[in-house]
């Protein structure tokens, strides 16, 4: 079964070299259920060429920490093992991807370079730099979204309800099963030297004060086990997920963020699970509509990680209340150390710092309180993005920028009744959360982490 060509867009025409087809793996770091890899293999078969996968480690990726690199690198080592069994070598490069990948492609006299899709500006920059240095064709495949971002909508969608019907219409054509990754028949020529994983890890200039997580194992195999466990034990209780102690969330976001599992695979297995309709629908709404809305947001909104992302009504209302008296004002350090007057907020910050994954419901409260207790909305945005990307295992993700923009800037939301500081941005209160779950129990649970 051929890969649907609506998933593919040409980044550069170029003229094919005489060597192998290369997949530049970035976002979708998995061997199975990977449309970019399946497409690259299809072309390699057509041309009768070998197929290789290349990943470039950007040592100082946006200030990412040891926590994220540890999870990612251990997942990539598993990809290398699985690909080797399929006759597809995995090349680990290090340095600036926009330079190193085209250099590698030239050295290999690559026939074609394929890469996956990511709307974040750092990736657009890497791809533009690479395209400028490449002579061969350069194709991009959306292997992350079920409906390719550019097929779902050509413009910025202002809310889930405007994107949902567009996704619904196309899902039957895209939410299909995956072909297996078969062994590649054309052998890669030349001597393949082993990847220096230790050297690569040592070359990282990362903040090692943010420790790797131990409660979640990285990699494709662990991702599939987590999916199966979710379906069996948690999905039936998914309606209770807003209670942070319900344990009803899937814990799939780190795997989805690093592409160690495909959202399409998660959707297929949940739909196939025989679970009741409501939890399945609710889960698919988050996994497909909310998640693909985030990619649409980052693809069509330059300033996705700043107040610029706020729609006009929200920017006006925040402007109007800029001068309102703030009862509490904290700087970034106090937020980071969880030193506010609010034990619930401090506990949620603690969960994120110690565990690397804050509970979804609390992320909204956490971000909105940063707006309420920062001197300006701009400072609030900066603090929320900085802390979210530094400590969340699933940070540096369109979902995060969309989640913060929703909480602070009314993105994908509507105006609510006006109040100090927030203006018409939706408000969340400690009292409101106390009515939803046992706040003290959550605070006590976080404490010893």
**Binding-site ranges for ligand FAD (CB under 6 A):** 241, 249-253, 256-257, 286-287, 290-291, 294, 360, 363-364, 367, 388, 392, 394-395, 397, 399-400, 402-404, 406-407
Nearest by Cα to 83 from 55, 106, 58: 55
What does 64 interact with, of ligand FO1, ligand FAD, none (CB < 5 to 8 A by kind)? ligand FO1
Order of strands, sheet of 90-94, starting from the edge strand that comes earlier in the sequence = 8-12, 138-141, 112-116, 21-24, 51-57, 90-94
Q: Can you tell me which of 27, 30, 241, 359 binds ligand FO1, judged by CB under 6 A?
A: 27
Which 3 state secondary structure label does DSSP give 11? strand
What does 27 interact with, of ligand FAD, ligand FO1, none (CB < 5 to 8 A by kind)? ligand FO1
**Nearest CB to ligand FO1, comparing residues 367 and 393:** 393
**Nearest CB to ligand FAD, comparing residues 108 and 388:** 388
**Nearest CB to ligand FAD, comparing residues 129 and 282:** 282
Contacts of 202 (CB under 8 A, 6+ apart): none
Q: What are phi and psi of 57, to 5 degrees?
A: -80, 115
Place of tokens 């890497």: 126
CB of 356 to ligand FAD, least distance (A): 11
What does 360 interact with, of ligand FO1, ligand FAD, none (CB < 5 to 8 A by kind)? ligand FAD
Q: How far apart are CA 209 and CA 287, in angstroms?
A: 31
CB of 168 to ligand FO1, least distance (A): 25
Rg (CA), the chain: 22
By the rule CB under 6 A, 387 interacts with ligand FO1: no
By the rule CB under 6 A, 396 interacts with ligand FO1: yes
Scored b (16 or more CB within 10 A) or e, 248-275 reads bbbbbbbbbbbbbbbbbbbbbbbeebeb
**Nearest CB to ligand FAD, comparing residues 41 and 291:** 291
Q: Can you tell me which of 21, 44, 53, 58 binds ligand FO1, judged by CB under 6 A?
A: 58
By the rule CB under 6 A, 118 interacts with ligand FO1: yes
Bridge partners for 93 per DSSP: 56
By the rule CB under 6 A, 72 interacts with ligand FO1: yes
Region binding ligand FO1 by CB under 6 A among candidate stretches 157-165, 395-403, 416-424, 441-449: 395-403
What does 47 interact with, of ligand FO1, ligand FAD, none (CB < 5 to 8 A by kind)? none
Q: How far is CA 276 from CA 237, 270, 285, 404, in A?
A: 10, 10, 15, 31
Nearest by Cα to 114 from 96, 125, 127: 127
**Nearest CB to ligand FO1, comparing residues 79 and 280:** 79
CB of 390 to ligand FAD, least distance (A): 11
263 in Cβ contact with 146 (< 8 Å): yes
Bridge partners for 253 per DSSP: none
**Ramachandran sector of residue 323 (left: φ over 0; alpha: ψ -120 to 50; beta: rest):** alpha
**Nearest CB to ligand FO1, comparing residues 309 and 425:** 309
- Judged by the rule CB under 6 A, the positions of this chain that interact with ligand FO1 are 26-27, 56-58, 61, 64, 68-69, 72, 97, 118, 120, 257-258, 395-397
């Amino acid at each position: 079964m051929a890969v649907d060509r609506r998933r593919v867009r040409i980044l550069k025409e170029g003229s094919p070299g005489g060597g192998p087809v290369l997949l530049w793996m970035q976002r979708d770091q998995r061997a199975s259920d990977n449309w970019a890899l399946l497409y690259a293999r299809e072309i390699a078969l057509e041309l009768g060429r070998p197929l290789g996968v290349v990943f470039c480690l950007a040592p100082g990726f946006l200030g990412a920490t040891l926590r994220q690199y540890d999870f990612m690198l251990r997942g990539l080592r598993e990809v290398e093992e699985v690909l080797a069994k399929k006759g597809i070598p995995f090349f680990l490069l290090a340095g600036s991807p926009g330079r190193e990948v085209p250099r590698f492609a030239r050295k290999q006299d690559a026939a074609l370079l394929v890469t996956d899709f990511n709307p974040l500006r750092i990736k657009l920059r890497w791809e533009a730099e690479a395209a400028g240095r490449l002579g061969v064709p350069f194709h991009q495949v959306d292997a992350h979204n079920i409906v390719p971002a550019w097929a779902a909508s050509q413009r910025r969608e202002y809310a889930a309800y405007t994107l949902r019907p567009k996704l619904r219409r196309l899902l039957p054509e895209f939410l299909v099963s995956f072909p297996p990754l078969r062994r590649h028949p054309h052998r890669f020529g030349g001597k393949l030297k082993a990847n220096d994983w230790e050297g690569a890890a040592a070359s990282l200039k990362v903040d090692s004060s943010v420790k790797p997580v131990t409660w979640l194992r990285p990699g494709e195999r662990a991702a599939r086990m987590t999916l199966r466990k979710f379906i069996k034990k948690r999905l039936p209780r998914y309606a209770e997920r807003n209670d942070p102690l319900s344990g009803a969330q899937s814990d799939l976001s780190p795997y989805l963020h690093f592409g160690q599992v495909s959202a399409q695979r998660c959707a297929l297995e949940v739909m196939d699970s025989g679970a009741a309709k409501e939890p399945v629908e609710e889960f698919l709404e988050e996994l497909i509509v909310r998640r693909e809305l985030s990619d649409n947001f980052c693809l069509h909104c330059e300033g996705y990680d700043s107040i610029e992302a706020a729609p006009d009504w929200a920017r006006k209302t925040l402007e109007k209340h800029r001068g309102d008296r703030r009862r509490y004002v904290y700087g970034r350090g106090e937020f980071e150390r969880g030193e506010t007057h609010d034990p619930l907020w401090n506990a949620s910050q603690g969960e994120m710092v110690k565990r690397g994954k804050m509970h979804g419901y609390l992320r909204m409260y956490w971000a909105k309180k940063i707006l309420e207790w920062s001197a300006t909305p701009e400072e609030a945005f900066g603090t929320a993005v900085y802390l979210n990307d530094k400590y969340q295992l699933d940070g540096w993700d369109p979902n995060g920028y969309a989640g913060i923009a929703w909480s602070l800037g009314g993105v994908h939301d509507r105006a609510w009744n006006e109040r100090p500081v927030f203006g018409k941005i939706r408000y969340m209160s400690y009292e409101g959360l106390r009515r939803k779950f046992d706040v003290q129990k959550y605070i006590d649970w976080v404490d010893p982490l």
